Amino acid sequence: MKNIIIVLVLLISPIALSSQKNQVIVKGTLGVKGNCNHCKMRIENAASLPGVKFAEWDKESHRLEVVYKSTKVSKEEIEKSISSVGHKVGDIPADSSAYDALPTCCQYKLGVSCGH
């Protein structure tokens, strides 16, 4: 019985190890335009796609720190999701209709200072 358990463990181990090797964890920083805590919540929610393990936007630096599994989601998919809710990401412009629908305090092109 002990030998059977050892054999099973040896057979299962390479399968578990090979599946872990395929999981590539990527940590990156994206420049995302926004003004306030409302923007922060919207940006982080848009970035939280399946495969994203961590997303945190800093309103002072306008930087989004993101950690994701590249086998589940791409940087481009994360950027597209954020731009679709009205925020410019790097060189990718915000969706204009989504931007126009943002609250005034979130419309960063206006240069409005927001207390949120």
CA 60 to chain centre: 18
> 96 pLDDT exceeds 50?
yes
CATH topology of domain 24-110: Alpha-Beta Plaits (3.30.70)
Report the mean per-residue pLDDT for the chain: 85
Do the Cβ atoms of 51 and 68 come closer than 8 Å? yes
Delimit the domains of the chain by residue range: 24-110
Torsion-angle region of residue 51: left (phi > 0), alpha (psi -120 to 50) or beta?
Answer: left
Edge-to-edge, what's the strand order for the sheet holding 52-58? 25-31, 63-69, 52-58
**Is it the case that residue 29 has pLDDT exceeding 80?**
yes
Tokens coding 69 = 């599994």
- C-alpha torsion 16→20→22→27, nearest 10: 170
